[in-house]
Amino acid sequence: MITFSSPFRAVAFETIQNDQYMPAFRNALDESHRNIERILSDKDLPDFENTIESLEYSLTDLKRLELIFFNINSAETNKEIQQIAQELSPLLSEFYNDITLNEALFSRVKAVYLQKEQLSLSPESHKLLEETYKSFIRNGAGLDAEAKVVFRDTTRELSTLTLKFEENLLDETNAYCLHLTSEGDLAGLPAFVIDAAAMEARSRNIPGWVFTLKAPSYTAFMKYSDDRSLREKLYRAYSSRCYHNNEKDNQQIIKRIAELRLQMANLLGYDTYARYVLENRMAENPEKVNRFLQEVIGASLPSARDEVAELQDFALRHNKSITLQRWDWSYYAEKLKTEKFAVSDAIIKPYLMLENVENAIFDLFGRLYGLSFKSNAEIPVYHPGVKTFEVHDCDGHFLALLYLDYFPREGKQGGAWMTNYLEQHKTHSLDIRPHVSLVFNFTKPTENQPSLLTYDELRTFLHEFGHAMHSILSDCRYWSLSGTNVYRDFVELPSQIMENWAEEKEWLEEVASHYATGEKMPETLIDKIIQSRNFHSGYAFIRQLSFGLNDMSWHSLSQPYTGNVVDFEKRAMAPTELFPEVDGCCFSTGFHHIFGGGYAAGYYGYKWAEVLDADAFSLFKQSGIFNRKTAQSFRENILSRGGTEHPMVLYKRFRGHEPSVEPLLERSGLKR
Ligand SMILES: [Zn+2]
């Protein structure tokens, strides 16, 4: 049994044994099946309560169990848990498929949907009805028997091919290494980069230094190595992954994935895959996304060109007669940045002690929303390092449990994330409050030094806390629409908006004081941190937008593409081209966000979310960054509402108009 402990019905982590998970899941699946049988055997005509709402509540126990298990699998896993995950995943996808392809269930859902105008439902119930019906339709429930077979074959082949794409990419990434044996080849590399490369070589039982195509190794080499021809070599290896006409080549796979996605969209009645995806996004349709991309490209391209020209001049001052190539960018950019702003992690970190930052963030939410955070060590945890808090509202009302898990350890995934052990929802008159967890990988304290954060980690802290607020302040009826259960291009608004405080002097002055002396961070340092944020922002914009163009092109096909992959992407990304062409390279064959991960027709979303957060924050800028009234409106119109209405409706209620790109351009120094 997976049990819960009083008084908050928190997960009793200390009592859970790994061998309890599978039986618990089997029980929960059986229970959900029985609940659905009950809906189907109801003699009354289908209505909102006996069908839509009942379906929503039938899955509560199962969903809670999934949260617990998969969160533990990310934060504190081991071989046994991973094994269970492998066993469990097909069971769950089969269960959810059984629901959407259950014809009797779909016909009840449809019967209710068809009367939606006569039902006088609340906006939230209306949304639940719409989302429920849509999820059946989007998974093929409305197709005739023959089309259903094609649909299932298409999705099956798609999932095989996306896995194959990822596998090829991983294999080619792992297969390559740059092995250096002469010390002379290490010119320019800082000691920590050299040490890591030596360690990599030792782990392979070879002498010298090894650089790989994986993130820290590759990016550090491109940034610091003085050897231009080695940078070119590594760049070419990275940018030609899965483009070697061998058994790991991804060109045919990409074309087939795009074709299958188109086929799936066509079956469901959409002209392109992008239209199918975007129907469930704040941006709504491909036309709007394309206009958005064009607008931001137009606004940032002149700055990006200036930045390239400036860096070209800078490079010429350092190295006669070179034409800036892609493998020169990070290298010279790093040098120029150091010349312009002498800020580094080493200088900033002593001012950002974890405990101080935690307190400052608690205070910030106290000032904005009147919240208080009360430590409660009685709440069971899955690891002794996890801290637990009760969050209370301004009137003392209990709002949420909060788990904070700061430090890396074996068994925890990299990165940082926010998640729940329980989502806010209401049953009858009971408001079930959420159990929210934030997981980080911050630097551990040592014997002589507390945990000190980098500036980026401070932003990460704020970012994840913003996600947590979306959940903590949620005031919705249905689990599936509450908290962070919103459209994907809207979910980063509450998190990204919080990062803005890290660029405000007024707040930084409060947060940053030296851990040993207590002395405030010098004003000049704060100024430099803020100024350096916009270094090369035009270039960064254009690079990200070029990926968005590539993504939209592959997913706006209305006919299968049979031509050359490089020609295709060259056409797609031409408006953002800043460098001379490099032959033998291909971007799409390594674009795992859209061909392996879940960002198909969604890459634009990164920039979209920045537009939202900058536009939303501009209201705080106008009224004051601690303004209670603005915060209250953000809480009422956005944070408490989850996905209960279309995000554009919620957004306009807060901001008074649709998001404008102006505040983002201004913030990024791209306004001309
Ligand atoms: Zn996020």
| CA nearest neighbour of 585 among 233, 59, 324, 318 | 233
- Start-to-end CA distance of the chain, whole Å, equals 63
Top-confidence residue, 310 or 598: 310
CA of 603 relative to ligand 1 center, distance in Å: 14
Residue 343 — very low, low, confident or very high, per pLDDT cuts 50/70/90? confident
Upstream peptide bond of 7 is cis (omega within 30 degrees of 0): yes
CA of 585 relative to ligand 1 center, distance in Å: 31
Q: Which of 71-75, 442-446, 514-518 has the lowest mean pLDDT?
A: 442-446
CA of 597 relative to ligand 1 center, distance in Å: 16
Looking at residue 224, its pLDDT comes to 94
CA of 468 relative to ligand 1 center, distance in Å: 10
CA of 414 relative to ligand 1 center, distance in Å: 14
CA of 458 relative to ligand 1 center, distance in Å: 14
CA of 463 relative to ligand 1 center, distance in Å: 6
Q: Which of 390, 464, 492, 499 is catalytic?
A: 464
Burial letters 367-382, b for 16+ CB under 10 A, else e:
ebbbbbbeeeeebbbb
CA of 420 relative to ligand 1 center, distance in Å: 14
State phi, psi for 544 to the nearest 5 degrees. Answer: -65, -40
Q: What region does 9 belong to: left with phi over 0, alpha with psi -120 to 50, or beta?
A: left
Decide: helix, strand or coil at residue 259. helix
Q: Residue 230, CB half-sphere, CA atoms under 13 Å: how many?
A: 24
Top-confidence residue, 393 or 317: 393
pLDDT digits (tens, 9 = 90+) for 460-480: 999 999 999 999 999 999 999
Residue 414 — very low, low, confident or very high, per pLDDT cuts 50/70/90? confident
What single letter denotes the amino acid at residue 525? L
With a CB cutoff of 8 Å and minimum separation 6, the contacts of 353 are 450, 451, 452, 453, 515
CA of 281 relative to ligand 1 center, distance in Å: 16
CA of 440 relative to ligand 1 center, distance in Å: 12
Pairing of strands 425-427, 372-375: unpaired
Our answer to whether residue 464 is catalytic in this structure is yes
CA of 31 relative to ligand 1 center, distance in Å: 33
- For residue 332, CA distances in Å to 55, 133, 318, 524 come to 58, 54, 9, 25
CA of 553 relative to ligand 1 center, distance in Å: 26
DSSP 587: S
CA of 73 relative to ligand 1 center, distance in Å: 19
| CA nearest neighbour of 187 among 329, 331, 323, 347 | 331
State phi, psi for 513 to the nearest 5 degrees. Answer: -140, 145
- The residue-averaged pLDDT of 623-644 equals 98
Contact by Cβ (8 Å): 217, 240: no
0.85 exceeded by the pTM? yes
Looking at residue 251, its pLDDT comes to 98
Residue 21 — very low, low, confident or very high, per pLDDT cuts 50/70/90? very high
The yes-or-no verdict on residue 61 having pLDDT over 80 is yes
CA of 129 relative to ligand 1 center, distance in Å: 28
CA of 560 relative to ligand 1 center, distance in Å: 34
How many Cβ atoms are within 10 Å of 1's Cβ, its own excluded? Answer: 11
With a CB cutoff of 8 Å and minimum separation 6, the contacts of 536 are 307, 333, 337
pLDDT digits (tens, 9 = 90+) for 178-231: 999 999 999 999 988 899 899 999 999 999 999 999 877 899 999 999 999 999
With a CB cutoff of 8 Å and minimum separation 6, the contacts of 219 are 330
CA of 393 relative to ligand 1 center, distance in Å: 24
Contact by Cβ (8 Å): 51, 119: no
pLDDT digits (tens, 9 = 90+) for 113-152: 999 999 999 999 999 999 999 999 999 999 999 999 999 8
CA of 381 relative to ligand 1 center, distance in Å: 24
CA of 466 relative to ligand 1 center, distance in Å: 8
What single letter denotes the amino acid at residue 373? F
Q: What region does 139 belong to: left with phi over 0, alpha with psi -120 to 50, or beta?
A: alpha
The yes-or-no verdict on residue 597 having pLDDT over 90 is no
Most confident of 98-107, 211-220, 314-323, 389-398: 389-398
CA 302/CA 281 separation, integer angstroms: 30
CA 182/CA 193 separation, integer angstroms: 15
Looking at residue 325, its pLDDT comes to 95
Per DSSP, the residues of 622-668 read HH-TT-HHHHHHHIIIIITTTTSS-HHHHHHHHHSS---SHHHHHHT
Q: Residue 95, CB half-sphere, CA atoms under 13 Å: how many?
A: 21
Looking at residue 94, its pLDDT comes to 86
Contact by Cβ (8 Å): 222, 332: no
Whose tokens are 């949260």? That residue is 67
pLDDT digits (tens, 9 = 90+) for 156-165: 899 889 989 9
- The residue-averaged pLDDT of 255-279 equals 98
Residue 444 — very low, low, confident or very high, per pLDDT cuts 50/70/90? confident
